[in-house]
Amino acid sequence: MRKVRAAVLTATNRPFEIQEFELTNPPEGMAKIRLIASGICGTDVHIYKGKIPVNMPAIIGHEFIGEVEALSASDSKQYGIQAGDRVIVDIACPCGHCRLCRAGDDANCVHMGVTNGGDPAIAPHLYGGYAEYNYSPVKNLIKIPSELNPVMVDVFACAGPTVLHAFQLAEKAGCKLREISTAVIQGLGPVGMFALLYLKAMGVPNVIAVTGSRKEERDQYARQLGAAAVLSMADDGQEGILAVIERYNDGLAADLVFESSGNPRAVPQGLGMLRNRGVYLIPGQYSNSGAVEIEPQKITFNALHLIGSSQYAVEDVKAYLQFLQNNPQLYAAIDRLHTDYSVPQINEAFQAVQAGKNIKTLLVPER
């Protein structure tokens, strides 16, 4: 049997181990998929640090894009997936039975499972994204249109659906993007970058990015994607940032703030950047990274609208692919945002992520 490599997390805050696993035929209901690109997400860093508990040893990673090599004929017929198709693996496994699932809100299933939670000691071993092959449920595969470069697609394979689902919840709550004049993005990781380019693509006139500190290359990318201004808390401060926002928004604070930094300190700062009746989207706070004090009377007296958003659904992945198809002018800019490593280079890649060295870090086949 042929053996392939995977990066295995054996304990928190420990280097990944490169281990070999035998390729097997996929069981009924699953497909065998060869790696094209697999992203390292901020959520993976939380798992690595123990802020999101998982059973170990584990092959983590949930931004896997690959080419289907094998699946059963019955699965192929049922789900319309064939060998040779390039697909995104959607990590979310909603139960389908809880009240939210029955209401069509399976992204917020109260019994949510994941595709990458399997024990690597048990065949077919390769359930997570940090591997040269992956085995996932066929029902969780979304075919990538032939005109899209799958490596480019992987840059925002998680961030894109995350952002789109957050805006979908905002729309349901009455926040309409066509009525937004000035928006603020907190944080310029992949989620923040996609939120920026999405808001600009949707016609929001003024999108201002706010970071903790300046990084010239990253900040320049944000300007190229359409940021009206890129500011930092370290250099501009809360009052200076608010003054810039008000200049863009006819003397008012921001209509919408999108928190994507993951830093708890960003939350009280974001609340302070909103005008009366402003909307705060908060998908970035994805682990217990500490508590912060807020002034709740600001929410009351300014009639603020706070919306949390965590998971996304298959329909959000499809919406992400459709967004890319509708905006080919963005392809070159997106494709410049990633830095590539092979699976055996996982520890080097992970160190780069933790140091904020790259905008987006991908694992790709070894060349």
| Domain range annotation of the chain | 3-155+337-363, 160-308
- The CATH-assigned architecture of domain 3-155+337-363 is Alpha-Beta Complex (3.90)
Gap between the Cα atoms of 164 and 53, Å rounded: 26
Tell me, what's the pLDDT at 367? 79
For 76-129, the pLDDT digits (tens) are 999 999 999 999 999 999 999 999 999 999 999 999 999 999 999 999 999 999
The predicted model gives 216-241 an average pLDDT of 96
The Cβ-side half-sphere exposure at 6, using a 13 Å CA radius, reads 30
Residues 77-111 as b/e (b if ≥16 CB within 10 A, e otherwise) read: eebebeeebbbbbbbbbbeeebebbeeeebbbbee
pLDDT(58) > 90: yes
For 189-220, the pLDDT digits (tens) are 999 999 999 999 999 999 999 999 999 999 99
Tell me, what's the pLDDT at 237? 96
Mean pLDDT for all residues in the chain: 95
Percent of the chain with pLDDT over 70: 100
Is the domain covering 160-308 a CATH 3.40.190.10 domain? no
Kindly indicate the confidence band of residue 289, based on its pLDDT and cuts at 50, 70 and 90.
confident
Kindly indicate the confidence band of residue 141, based on its pLDDT and cuts at 50, 70 and 90.
very high
Percent of the chain with pLDDT over 90: 95
Question: What does pTM read for this prediction?
Answer: 0.95
pLDDT(1) > 80: no
Tell me, what's the pLDDT at 201? 95
For 291-309, the pLDDT digits (tens) are 999 999 999 999 999 999 9
The predicted model gives 342-363 an average pLDDT of 95
The predicted model gives 233-246 an average pLDDT of 97
Give residue 71's Cα distance to chain centre: 27
**Is there a common fold for 3-155+337-363 and 160-308?**
no
For residue 70, what are the β-bridge partners?
32
Tell me, what's the pLDDT at 290? 87
Give residue 37's Cα distance to chain centre: 15
Tell me, what's the pLDDT at 362? 98
DSSP alpha helix (H) spans, the chain: 42-48, 73-79, 99-102, 150-154, 159-172, 190-201, 216-224, 233-248, 266-271, 296-301, 314-326, 331-335, 346-354
Asked if residue 299 lies in contact with residue 306, where contact means CB atoms within 8 angstroms, the answer is: yes
Kindly indicate the confidence band of residue 287, based on its pLDDT and cuts at 50, 70 and 90.
confident
